[in-house]
Chains A and B, each alone.
Chain A
Amino acid sequence: MIYTYLLFTLLILASLSCFAAKEKSATLITLFSSFVSIILSLIIWLSSTISTNFLYIDPISKIMLIVTAVIYTTTSLFSVSYFKHIKKPLLKQNLYWAFLNLFVLSMFFSVIAANLGLLWVGIEATTITSALLVAIDNNYPSIEASWRYIIIVSVGLIVSLVGIVFIYAQAHTLDIAYMIQNHQDKNRLILIGSAMAIIGFGTKAGIFPMHTWLPDVHGRSIAPISAIFSSVLLPSALFGIIRISQIAPFGQIKHFMFALGLLSVVFASIFMVNQKYYKRLFAYSSIENMGVILIGLSLGKTGLLGSIVLLISHAFAKSSAFYLTGNILSVYKTRKISDVNMLVKNMPYTAYGLILTSLAVTGAPPFATFVGEFLIIAAVYKIYGFAYFSILLLSLLVAFLSVNYKISRMSFLDGKAMQNNSCDMISAAVPLINTALAFAVLFAIPAINKILSGVLL
């Protein structure tokens, strides 16, 4: 427990000092606090489940803490090299670091909150702290994207707050640990409350009918921010849905989650076929992956294991993909797929990294995403039968083909050679580390399985 408080103090101090510090020292402070947060989250992983008035750390929270800390570190590292590509940044560099620290702090806060209201507060706080980070490019499209992000997400979260109030009206408490132990009677009030909360958190997680802000934001924010959004922000919104489904483990809620997840997968894969911009392509891929994770969460047992594995490995793979798109953008100065070609000749490391990560995010075997999706698909076949199984499989296939076709086109199609193709060491190395991690999650699956055995869902 002491380590949790330590983690929080660290991040609060880091963000406060970044407001005051010079650019260089702010960078160093952030890098330091991110490395320490990895260590602290590993220590928390080894300690037992904590449940107090303010903290509730169960295995899923621990996993989220570690993933967030790792992505935080790699994002900080990558931002150091990427920041020089921004022409006229909206925020000064030290403010950028301060907001990044606050953003990560609010995500940490929402995954360990012991109270549904505080969980909501944490998730809403991620919106506030990240809105300016989205607009950091300081041009019209990025500001427009940031505006859409704020409005759509905060309205969605208001809906989920109404849902939480309904849950409170039924249970007369918002304590998560208590509500997981003692299930409420199933009645309309708690069903509607849970459904509204799921819709709200689903807005933040980019689930299908409410996903519209997501491609815009991912397409227009800078690469490190896209990466941290896609790999940790969306899962921490899904974490809210996990809590809701733990509190209200009713059949209708599971079916609702399944339907939303399936819709997300189907529509995201349809949108991916016709995508002209590579960052948006990966954004839709995020929606598709979140859909699959949501399906897995709705199934429980092996589905849960699959979705947690997919969540972790997708976080690593997708962050790597977005870092690489940042490298491409800084050299080619275009977001269009059709304008990028000969990547293998021009930027060999980036090209091979991109091919590997695009295989990883679409769930191709050696990567742990494959295991996650496989477990979920198997569970779907077992529970929902052949029809839904084939729909899901077909959509995943479409997504796989469209992403990999477009990426290989960008990599291998003949075109003119670029003069300025120098890419510094950090921005080439960081994506490779994350891709390797997406593979290494395979070896952690038994440990994840063991730690998840006590989780009720």
Chain B
Amino acid sequence: MKEAFIIVGFLEITLAIFMQWQIYLKKIVTTFSISSYAISIFLAVDGIVLNNTNLLVLSALTAVIRGFFIPHFIRKKLNKECYLEREIKAIIPVAASIVVSLVFVVASYIVYHSTLYSFINIPGGSIPIALLFQGIFLIISRNNAFVQLVGYMVAENSLFLFGGYLFPELPFIIEGGILLDLIGVVMISGIIMKLREENVSSIVDEFEEFKG
């Protein structure tokens, strides 16, 4: 499983960089969907190898919610309003944001090796941390609600990779609670996002009151 973990992990990182590169929302969403499926397959195989039902549940939820449901929801939304297809503005220039997310990958490698390596000693242990950073950076660097939601879910994926691979023995009640919460956040943010996109076209400038 070690090799599979590293391959899936680096695939995730390259897909996250690919998401930074894209301007078309549809492509970002498709890329995210692929990355979710990759994690889901990895967790399923890991669960079969370790004979752990928790991991199978995690895998199924990853595939259904983040692989299929949310991307499908966003795509349906995009088909209706084609002017949302291309992202209007990125806060940080794309080339710079690619390089910055690369820096995050390196930084997480250094952080992992200087701090955690002596406790959680596995090759590629820095990958979930790097993915977490990249998800957060995707939220920071883009101003679009869809991309921000995708960024949040990238961070969530990293958490699943992290918890699923490194700590499959977490108590089930906690894992269940965490899962319910994460699903709830995604649902609620879907609702808010829908409301926000309905209103956003009428506001051109940044809302003045929110400064300072």
Contacts and interface: CB of A to CB of B under 8 A. Distances in A.
Interface of A: 90, 115, 117-118, 120-121, 124-125, 127-128, 131-132, 135, 138-141, 143-147, 150-151, 154-155, 158-159, 161-162, 165-166, 168-170, 174, 187-189, 192, 215-216, 219-220, 271, 274-275, 277, 280, 335
A128 B207 contact: no
Contacts of A275: 212
Nearest to A140: B199
Contacts of A168: 167, 170
A151 B195 CA distance: 15
A127 B185 contact: yes
Given A144-B196, A150-B185, A170-B119, A271 B159 contact: no
Given A117-B174, A140-B200, A155-B155, A128 B185 contact: yes
Given A140-B203, A155-B152, A192-B115, A117 B178 contact: yes
B167 to A, nearest CB: 6
Contact of A132 (B135, B145, B191, B203): B191
Interface string B185-212: 1011101110110011011000101101
- Counting from the closest, the 9 A-B pairs by CB-CB distance are A117-B174, A121-B177, A128-B184, A124-B181, A140-B199, A189-B119, A131-B188, A150-B189, A143-B195
Q: What does DSSP make chain B's interface, helix, strand, loop or mixed? A: helix
Contacts of B156: 158
Contact of B116 (A145, A189, A215, A271): A189
B189 A131 contact: yes
A243 B167 CA distance: 22
Interface of B: 115-116, 118-120, 129, 132, 135-136, 139, 145, 148-149, 152, 155-156, 159, 162-163, 166-167, 170-171, 173-174, 177-178, 180-182, 184-185, 187-189, 191-193, 195-196, 199-200, 202-203, 207, 209-210, 212
Nearest to A174: B174
Contacts of A143: 192, 195-196, 199
Contact of A140 (B152, B185, B202): B202
Contact of A125 (B115, B139, B184): B184
A256 B102 CA distance: 28
A141 B159 CA distance: 31
A125 B192 CA distance: 16
Contacts of B200: 140
A187 B148 CA distance: 35
Contacts of A117: 170-171, 173-174, 177-178
Given A128-B188, A145-B210, A151-B139, 9 more contacts: A117-B173, A124-B184, A128-B187, A150-B192, A155-B135, A161-B159, A162-B162, A165-B170, A188-B118
A138 B195 CA distance: 9
Contacts of A151: 139, 148-149, 152, 189
A216 B209 CA distance: 8
Contacts of A135: 192, 195
A325 to B, nearest CB: 14
A216 B211 CA distance: 9
A150 B167 contact: no
Q: Which of B163, B184, B193, B209 has the most CB of A within 10 A?
A: B209
Given A115-B174, A120-B178, A158-B155, A140 B207 contact: yes
Contacts of A121: 174, 177-178, 180-181
Contacts of B116: 166, 188-189, 192
